[in-house]
Structure 1
Amino acid sequence: MNRIDALFARLRSEDRRALMPFLTAGDPDLETTSALIREAFRRGAHMIEVGIPYSDPIADGPVIAASYQRALDRGIRLGPIFDAIGSLRGGEGGPAVDGPMVTMSSYAIILRRGPRRYLDEAKAAGVDGLIVPDLPVEEAGPLAELVAERDLRLIQLITPRTPRDRAAAIARTTTGFIYYVSVAGITGERTELPTDLADAVGWLRSQTDLPICIGFGISRPEHIRALAPVADGLIVGSAIVRRLDDGDGQGREGLVDRIGAFIGELAGALPS
């Protein structure tokens, strides 16, 4: 069974929620990214979203966009990212990492690599699914077929502005889980989240049996506590990436411990 499916099957049977941190691959370097992935799982994360740096991010706010640029400026490229994930799966440098990992990638990167080659390399590395935010549902069919052939999952996004007929179509073609964008606009930390979020997710549940994971704007333990009753998973990105940038220069060990402590705090806010 695909690791994503196995995770949500287990969590649902236990009436628990998933915590899904986002990390930009190669920011500040791939060795630190690998150490952060290990630490995140150790501190209570259930799945890791690995951002593939891209020079023209689609929905990412300034914090994540800046992290992409830092990684690109340091020469981070797709091949070494897959190598790093494969090393984690193989247990190089520490215990083998078995938790689900998904890539967040522009479709332009996949096209440049060649969809079959990208998916083959992702599968060989131990990636479990893909989030492709700039791939319209009307054009997703060919990639979805290639993904299914490799027992990977194609996770698609639904936003508050997505018309309901389109949202239903996205839900029918998505696999793994639905990424529900909590707010219209780009990623970033927010003090408050929309009051109608529960109603929107409730309607979406009437359209699909897939897990629904909420992202964009989640940055505090209180957000986790507020959204856990309506979500199957909570995705935290900018709040982690900002802390990484703020801690630049303190050394890998200190940085990993600092981010790990924050992830542990978020995990502690999940209902047990």
Structure 2
Amino acid sequence: MPSAPDSITSSRLRDTFTKLSDANEAAFVAYLAAGHPNAEKTVEIVLALEEAGADVIELGIPFSDPLADGVVNQIAAEKALAAGTTTRGVLDMIRAIREKSEIPLVLFTYLNPVYTYGFEDFHRDAAAAGADGILCLDLPPDEAAKNVELAQSKGLSPIRLIAPTTPEERFEEVCATADGFIYYVSREGVTGVQESLAEGLDEQVAVLKKHTDVPVCVGFGISKPEQAAQVAKSADGVVVGSAIVRTVIDNADADNLAQIVHDFAKPLIDAAKSARA
């Protein structure tokens, strides 16, 4: 069963998942579109989510062609780009967060912004800024292995995606290069709020966990406390993105935006945390 080498794993990610495992709690991973509505409010929202009990924050680097994202995250990315958000600007946000917080930060991105920045330079600068991991949605690990530059993490834990359509015989290949955690996509298609969870999710997670010691977090479509609780019973973590991003979009002009996001996320976080009690 493959497990990630300690020399790669971010200590913040490793320590967080170890602490939660010892407490028999699932992690709550919150996704935000970095730079929407602006850099300052992004930092405020991250701190508010940590206060609400979030364990890991995914910061989405805005990109003009987010092919894996549903309409909500697409809108947020467009607004962030229109506000002047750049890849370097996202790293500045991480530096600002690190002045006040040690919460693990994972960069959620497509390959184009990273490659445009310079693959090696991006990983070096992101790690130096205080990022802990990277989830590159359109870079399959077997493709990365064909290019030495793309295969090296340079200080960031490589988070890997596994989808419902991924055949079991491919699990070990993907898991062998995963670090920090594995993001299990709960359903086919793009990101977005769903009224119900996919059938057989618990069984799918159980099968995946037989192939790896790396924590497995489940996302795509989770928007209600009862959904978060259900996922938390079988997975090592619950990822909520579009529902939080929608809350930001709907209240972007509010002076107390960070508090609004805090209050929206708190019941989801509490449900995930208490699911195994």
* Band of TM-score, shorter chain: over 0.9
1:44 aligns with 2:48: no
**Structure 2 match to 1:248:** 252
Would you say the 8 A contact 1:153–1:176 is kept in 2? yes
In structure 2, give the amino acid aligned to 1:80.
Answer: G
Alignment counterpart, residue 12 of structure 2, candidates 3, 24, 44: 3
**Structure 2 match to 1:63:** 72
**Structure 1 match to 2:111:** 107
1:235 aligns with 2:239: yes
Q: In the aligned structure 2, how far is the partner of 1:230 from the partner of 1:194?
A: 14
Question: Which deviates further from its counterpart, 30-39 or 242-251?
Answer: 242-251
Please provide the CA RMSD for this pair. Answer: 1.2
1:86 aligns with 2:90: no
Q: In the aligned structure 2, how far is the partner of 1:256 from the partner of 1:221?
A: 20
Would you say the 8 A contact 2:56–2:104 is kept in 1? yes
Percent identity, aligned pairs only, is 36
Local SS of the residue matching 2:259: helix
Alignment counterpart, residue 195 of structure 1, candidates 199, 219, 235: 199
Local SS of the residue matching 1:173: coil
Deviation at 1:124, TM superposition (A): 1.1
Q: In the aligned structure 1, how far is the partner of 2:180 from the partner of 2:150?
A: 12
**Structure 1 match to 2:176:** 172
**Structure 2 match to 1:265:** 267
1:24 aligns with 2:24: no
1:118 aligns with 2:122: yes
Runs of 5+ unmatched residues, structure 1: none
Corresponding pairs, count? 263
Local SS of the residue matching 1:50: strand
Would you say the 8 A contact 2:30–2:56 is kept in 1? yes
In structure 1, give the amino acid aligned to 2:194.
Answer: R
Would you say the 8 A contact 1:144–1:154 is kept in 2? no
Q: In the aligned structure 1, how far is the partner of 2:149 from the partner of 2:66?
A: 20
Q: In the aligned structure 1, how far is the partner of 2:152 from the partner of 2:164?
A: 29
TM-score by length of 2: 0.92
Q: In the aligned structure 1, how far is the partner of 2:16 from the partner of 2:158?
A: 16
Structure 1 residues 144, 211: CA separation in 2 closer, same or farther (over 3 Å shift)?
A: farther
In structure 2, give the amino acid aligned to 1:50.
Answer: L
In structure 1, give the amino acid aligned to 2:257.
Answer: L
Deviation at 1:73, TM superposition (A): 1.1
Q: In the aligned structure 2, how far is the partner of 1:130 from the partner of 1:248?
A: 26
Would you say the 8 A contact 1:57–1:65 is kept in 2? yes
In structure 2, give the amino acid aligned to 1:155.
Answer: I
Would you say the 8 A contact 1:82–1:122 is kept in 2? yes
Alignment counterpart, residue 211 of structure 1, candidates 211, 215, 228: 215
- Where does 1:128-139 land on structure 2 (aligned, <5 Å)? 128-139=132-143
Runs of 5+ unmatched residues, structure 2: 1-9
Post-superposition Cα deviations, 1:159-200, rounded to whole Å, max 9, x if no partner, equal 001111222211111111100000011000001011211111
Q: In the aligned structure 1, how far is the partner of 2:254 from the partner of 2:41?
A: 12
**Structure 2 match to 1:146:** 152
Q: In the aligned structure 2, how far is the partner of 1:218 from the partner of 1:110?
A: 28
